[in-house]
């Protein structure tokens, strides 16, 4: 099974891990936690714990995706 192109999906092919890693590289954990105030970003943050939480929590994942798109479009 091959994946079909998704021209209307700007996040197609970008993993959650890539999004969080790039957000942390751009903003740092402290600013990321200020912009999206969830515990996985504000209390002893790590990539692994953040990914685990975001994969289980659709509303938080949506906030990360939205901020990622804003950051990417601002470049």
Domain that holds residue 57: 16-74
The length of the chain, given as a count of residues: 75
Look up the pTM and report it: 0.88
Alpha-carbon dihedral 7, 64, 29, 25, rounded to 10 degrees = 0
Alpha carbons 71 and 68: distance in angstroms, whole number:
5
Q: How many domains does the chain have?
A: 1
Here the CATH number for the domain that contains residue 53 is: 1.10.720.30
- In a domain, residue 11? The reply is no
Encode pLDDT of 1-53 as tens digits: 556 667 788 898 999 999 999 999 999 999 999 999 999 999 999 999 999 99
Nearest to 49 by CA among 36, 59, 38: 38
């Amino acid at each position: 099974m091959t994946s079909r192109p998704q021209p209307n999906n700007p996040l197609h092919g970008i993993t959650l891990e890539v999004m969080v890693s790039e957000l942390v590289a751009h903003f740092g954990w402290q600013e990321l936690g200020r912009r999206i105030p969830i515990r996985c970003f504000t209390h002893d943050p790590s990539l692994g714990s953040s990914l685990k939480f975001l994969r289980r929590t659709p509303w938080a994942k949506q906030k990360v995706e939205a901020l990622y798109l804003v950051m990417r479009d601002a470049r």
